[in-house]
Structure 1
């Protein structure tokens, strides 16, 4: 089978499935991407670059669409080159939103297209209007609606779609739900496993004498993942628990949403706003997987917050590693965590309630031990890569053979 993957950032969500397909000598796997750095054995990378960026004079409602069209145009040209060289895919798998999949039906009209639908934008009822302290401007409403233009083109063009969670699928227009399967990317539960009694020792950080360790993981330190609320809660936790330490695994950047003006990071902003004992707060940046796993395995309580948005892989990885996850009671989290059964939930906007839940964890470690076991069971039963990877491979095979029925 010939498979063409498309994503601006190789390998992204396709790491495991593309590798699995490439290891079968009967398959030929090509990955169209802008990422020239990463290499994975057996996968042929085909680089595309848009001819220019979206023009600053373009109306700001449609600047994302122009950027998607430029990406789509670059992939359109790349696909024509692949076809001229004799590569005609049996199936195309691509991430929808940034444009690479837009014109695949114009190059390969007979090839089935399977789109990864991660998010559909709404001005009301999900992430954009979630924080009452940051109300939308009137101009934001049409701007957010227009952001869906390239995604709507893909919904029309694709033969099949998939979303990783039911919450994410629910954001798409109901008339397209029958086209979108719900199938999580999967977590390597054999790798992310508990190590009871472990203490945290990193190359430049020795917390082996610490008995109360809070962990927080995110790509960036930003409001979408509740970083400001976490820092506010940490002040309460430090006052109540003088021996408690916190390890923050995150980059000092904004991945989702708006940055602060004048280049100020949310880390600097919150540390100026909230007094903390910084000798007990450890910012370790991003970590390689081996060290990241050690952080999770040593965690007394793992805090995860998110607006009603895309669910982070890291929360499932933490559950797989046996963490006691204290999560925000928002829709993507509640799809996975049941309060008091496989984790604890709290109001996203209540730092004191988060501190109360941390007290509960630290004061009753034995009584709440079952939550750790249940968290890992949830990961094993519903999100294990060993179970889900064969389903992804079967889905691709079915789409290639056009053997799927709607629903």
Structure 2
């Protein structure tokens, strides 16, 4: 079997799938990407690069489409090279949105095209109009509608699609939902598992919290409103006054991964720390961490805060649950698909830092009662998101 994976950010959602297929000598697995770092045994990684990015003079509604077309064009050229070298895949499996899958049915018309559909943009009812302090206007509505153009092209041309959660699938137009299966990539429960009495010591970044009795953790790719970073900082300001022994570990990069950036190169971190002066000796910004250090943060966590707009559900939340974290999470649709308040986590109003702080304190002061919630958190992942159960099913879906 010849399989071509396509994703600009190698290996992303296809990590375990590509590795499993690459282990079988009967398969020839190629991964097209523009990320140079990383390799998978048994998988041939081939790089592609866009000839340019969208022009500044392009209408701002259309820039995402122009970038997707340029990405698709680069992948088309890569596919032609593969074809010239007698590699014609039985299956092409790519991430929809950035554009790598746009022209695969043209260069490989007989290949099965599978698409990973992570998100469909809607002006109302999900992330865009969630924050009343950041209303959208008619210009936003038109821009958001246009942003779906490359995804709609993939929905039309693919043979089958997959979405990781019910919430994410529900964002797609009803007429296309029958084409999309709900199936999560899976969480490695043997890697993400709790360690009783774990201490947090990360020598590489000179962080030693081994003697700290309370550690509140937070993980996100960036520091932005989409993942509740402003609410987090205000929550920390409240907690620092009430929990003098509590330390806070924030894993993520000082950037915007989702949503709007601030003008004049300002960052949300800088603006918020100016507004809410914190005791810096008890707040530890680690930047992004290698997996082994990230795991240690989760294992040592007393309480883990996860906040998100109604948007794509983060892997980190499920990994935290698998590690037995006590999650205080936003009562938003993607979180509520997984967490039931008081059963496998605690839910809070996204916009209420005071309530978030109160529930963190509740968790810190009732550790015996929270032990059952921690156990159920892990059990949720074992039952519903275990990689070792889901990967064979994913493979069957790919091969059918």
Task: Please tell me the TM-score bracket, short chain as reference.
Answer: over 0.9
Indicate the SS of the match to 1:246: strand
TM-score when normalising by structure 1: 0.97
- Name the SS of the counterpart of 1:5 in structure 2: strand
Deviations for 1:9-52, whole angstroms, at most 9, x for unmatched residues? 11111111001100100000011111122222211112211222
The residue aligned with 1:229 is 231
Which residue in the other structure is 1:123 paired with?
123
1:236 is paired with a residue whose SS is helix
> Structure 2: how far apart are the matches of 1:291 and 1:33?
26
Which runs of no fewer than 5 residues in structure 2 stay unpaired? none
2:252 corresponds to which residue? 250
Q: Distance in 2 between matches of 1:284 and 1:80?
A: 43
What SS is found at the alignment partner of 1:268? helix
Q: Distance in 2 between matches of 1:263 and 1:59?
A: 23
Distance 1:141 1:107 in 2: 34
- The correspondence of residues 165-314 of structure 1 with structure 2, limited to 5 A, is 165-203=165-203, 204-314=206-316
Q: For the residues of structure 1 that align with 2:361 and 2:52, how far apart are their CA atoms?
A: 53
Q: CA deviation at 1:81?
A: 1.4
**Matched residue of 1:251: which SS?**
coil
Instruction: Tell me the equivalent position of 1:401.
Output: none
**Secondary structure of residue in 1 paired with 2:138:** coil
Moved more, 307-316 or 42-51: 42-51
Distance 1:41 1:380 in 2: 27
> Shift of residue 316 of structure 1?
0.5
SS in 1 for 2:305: strand
For residues 108-145 of structure 1, what are the alpha-carbon distances to aligned partners after superposition, in whole Å with 9 as ceiling and x for unaligned? Answer: 11111110000000111111111111111321110000
Aligned to 1:339: 341
Structure 1: 5+ residue stretches without partners: 399-407
Q: Shift in Å at residue 371 of structure 1?
A: 0.4
Residue 404 of structure 1 corresponds to none
Alpha-carbon displacement from aligned partner over 1:290-311 (angstroms, at most 9, x marks no partner): 1111111111100000000000
Partner Cα distance (1:74, 1:389) in 2: 30
Deviation sequence 1:327-369 (CA, Å, 0-9, x none)? 0000000000000000000000000000110111011110121
Q: Which residues of 2 match residues 65-80 of structure 1 at below 5 A?
A: 65-80=65-80
Q: CA deviation at 1:289?
A: 1.1
Please state whether the residue corresponding to 1:31 is helix, strand or coil.
Answer: strand
After TM superposition, where is structure 1 displaced by more than 4 Å over at least 4 residues in a row? none
Distance (whole Å) between structure 2 residues aligned to residue 108 and residue 135 of structure 1 = 43
CA distance in 2, matches of 1:361, 1:254: 30
* 3-state SS of 2:221 partner: strand
CA distance in 2, matches of 1:51, 1:59: 19
Compute the TM-score of the two structures, normalised by the length of structure 2: 0.98
Task: Identify the residue that residue 57 of structure 1 maps to in structure 2.
Answer: 57
- For 1:10 and 1:214, the matched residues in 2 are separated by 31
Matched, 1:37 2:37: yes
Distance 2:289 2:196 in 1: 21
Structure 1 counterpart SS, 2:252: strand
Instruction: State how far apart, in whole Å, the 1-side matches of 2:10 and 2:62 are.
Output: 26
Structure 1: distance between partners of 2:288 and 2:70: 31
- Distance in 1 between the 2:127 and 2:30 partners? 35
2:3 alignment partner, SS class? strand
Deviates more, 1:15-24 or 1:28-37: 28-37
SS in 1 for 2:255: coil
CA distance in 2, matches of 1:6, 1:71: 11
SS of 2:369's partner is coil
Q: Provide the aligned length of Structure 1 versus Structure 2.
A: 398
Q: For 2:352 and 2:92, how far apart are their aligned partners in 1? A: 45
**CA-atom RMSD, angstroms?**
0.8
Q: Distance in 2 between matches of 1:286 and 1:78?
A: 31
2 CA distance for matches of 1:245 and 1:289?
21
